Amino acid sequence: MSNTQSQNCTITLDGKTYEFPVIIGTEGEKAIDISKLRDTTGYVTLDIGYKNTGATKSAITFLDGEEGILRHRGYSIEDLAEKANFMEVSYLLLKGELPNKEQFEEFDASVRHHTLVNEDLQNIFKTFPTGSHPMGQLIAMISSLSAYYPKALDPNRSAESKNRTTLRMLAKMPTICAMIYKKRMGHPVVYPNNNLDYVSNFLSMTFKHVSEPDYQPDPVVVDAMNKLLILHADHEQNCSASTVRLVGSSQSNLYASIAAGVAALWGPLHGGANQEVLEMLEQIKADGGNVQKWVDKAKDKNDPFRLMGFGHRVYKNFDPRAKIIKKTCDDVLNKLGINDPVLEIAKKLEEAALTDPYFVERKLYPNVDFYSGIIYRAIGFPTDMFTALFALGRLPGWIAQWQEMLNEGQPIGRPRQIYTGHTPRSFVPRGERQ
């Protein structure tokens, strides 16, 4: 597969005409390659929030926001969520192909081999006040992994070293997330059981308790968790993936780059929205369940309130992940026999918003975060853990983006700006300033 360049783009500036190549991706998306724009014309482009800027070429994920399409390495998200498990999707993202039986077994075993974290990491946990946010702890724990694996500090050391760091990162993330949960509950840490698959092991480290030593994760929960992780596994050049690539482009190590991605994900406009959605639904419930009142608040430009879990930078038709999650949510709650009143509120809110001209005109639809929290809660996770679960799912995507960036030898990311501050002025000594 390669990009084709079949036409040029002509730009006229200051009476002079310049030609720039047009790049066409394998799915037909078009871009004007302006990498020589400043050198040839003296101009830069201005695109605040990168709404129209392709920061890279990438062969990992294809997303068509107008049509509601999401594919990883050519495979539809619907097929992957239905037919694959999270480890297979991780392999696909990282290596470009679905694994055959032997490849899967080898990859899965290599990840299992690295699930323990250094015992000293627990000392770092002890210094966090109980109740501190899981995402703050996650950032610190991931970045401190670099202290235990100094060979990983050079991301270009060797292919073998890069692969080992990738396996370690994948393997230790569930262990760290489960430790954060245990610390939050004030419970002793449960060590990994490498006889279990990735998701079962994570659930076991999280929910197994001294009073229930024979805990076995419910297959319904394992299946739902696999789906949720797959649905979060990659989403091309979103805020956190772009952060991972930008940090990694300075040749920072994988642990530092992923910690930065987790920090970007934490914000309520990105992954932090899943926590905000549940809190919003609880607030609506406590307020009497009048969804129209909250839809009106979201429309009111004098009110900072936004409907969390609604809207997306690129999806302008529907978010295919949200469709799958809504169905999974119904299935899981039914199978677990849980009747959560916030699910009813969520459905009413969706219905009210989808028929409201404000949301219709702005093409605002439920996104991946709208229903995921209800499933996490049904499984037993506290609300402030939700974004850490998003991070667990997004991890293979971040690593794949980081690897692609390094393997293609991309230069350090360094945007330009249009300066709008003072022009030169004379320095006034402190005593003489007004």
**Segment 363 to 392, residues that bind ligand CMC, using CB under 6 A:** 364, 367-369
Q: How far is the CB of 338 from ligand CMC (least distance, A)?
A: 24
Q: Is 309 in the site for ligand CMC (CB under 6 A)?
A: yes
Whose CB is nearest to ligand CMC? 311
Q: Which of 85, 238, 249, 403 binds ligand CMC (CB under 6 A)?
A: 238
Stretch that binds ligand CMC, among 200-208, 219-227, 266-274, 344-352 (CB under 6 A): 266-274
Q: Is 298 in the site for ligand CMC (CB under 6 A)?
A: yes
Can you give the three-state secondary structure of 137-204, one letter per residue? HHHHHHHHHHHHCHHHHCCCCCHHHHHHHHHHHHHHHHHHHHHHHHHHHCCCCCCCCCCCCHHHHHHH
Rg for the chain, CA atoms, rounded: 24
Q: Which one is catalytic: 312, 330, 331, 340?
A: 312
Which of 74, 236, 94, 224 has the alpha carbon at shortest distance from 169?
A: 94
**Antiparallel, parallel or unpaired: β 61-64 and 75-76:** unpaired
Q: How far is the CB of 299 from ligand CMC (least distance, A)?
A: 7
Q: How far is the CB of 212 from ligand CMC (least distance, A)?
A: 34
Q: Is 280 in the site for ligand CMC (CB under 6 A)?
A: no
| Dihedral angle, C-alpha 101, 105, 108, 114, nearest 10 ° | -160
Q: Is 307 in the site for ligand CMC (CB under 6 A)?
A: yes
Q: Which of 95, 187, 297, 306 binds ligand CMC (CB under 6 A)?
A: 306
Q: Is 323 in the site for ligand CMC (CB under 6 A)?
A: no
Stretch that binds ligand CMC, among 93-101, 247-255, 307-315, 341-349 (CB under 6 A): 307-315
Nearer to ligand CMC, 300 or 408 (CB): 300
**Antiparallel, parallel or unpaired: β 30-32 and 16-24:** antiparallel
Nearer to ligand CMC, 60 or 203 (CB): 60
Q: Is 235 in the site for ligand CMC (CB under 6 A)?
A: yes
Contact 247, 257 (CB under 8 A): yes
Q: How far is the CB of 310 from ligand CMC (least distance, A)?
A: 4
Which tokens in the block code for residue 158?
Answer: 């060797």
Whole-angstrom distance, CA of residue 21 vs CA of residue 8: 4
**Segment 325 to 364, residues that bind ligand CMC, using CB under 6 A:** 362, 364
Nearer to ligand CMC, 175 or 243 (CB): 243
Q: Is 257 in the site for ligand CMC (CB under 6 A)?
A: no
Nearer to ligand CMC, 67 or 105 (CB): 67
Q: Is 91 in the site for ligand CMC (CB under 6 A)?
A: no
Whole-angstrom distance, CA of residue 430 vs CA of residue 434: 9
Whole-angstrom distance, CA of residue 416 vs CA of residue 423: 18
Q: Which one is catalytic: 197, 234, 319, 369?
A: 369
Contact 60, 75 (CB under 8 A): no
Site string for ligand CMC, 214-233 (x = CB under 6 A): --------------------
Nearer to ligand CMC, 95 or 299 (CB): 299
**Segment 28 to 67, residues that bind ligand CMC, using CB under 6 A:** none
Nearer to ligand CMC, 86 or 207 (CB): 86
Q: Is 183 in the site for ligand CMC (CB under 6 A)?
A: no
Which tokens in the block code for residue 190?
Answer: 């449960």
Nearer to ligand CMC, 168 or 377 (CB): 377
Number of residues that bind ligand CMC (CB under 6 A): 20
Contact 92, 72 (CB under 8 A): yes
For the question of residue 312 being annotated catalytic, the response is yes
Nearer to ligand CMC, 111 or 325 (CB): 325
AA letter at 68: G
- Note the Cα 77 to chain centre separation in Å: 15
Q: Is 311 in the site for ligand CMC (CB under 6 A)?
A: yes
| Footprint on this chain of ligand CMC (rule: CB under 6 A) | 235, 238, 269-271, 273, 298, 306-313, 362, 364, 367-369
Which residues are part of the catalytic machinery? 312, 369
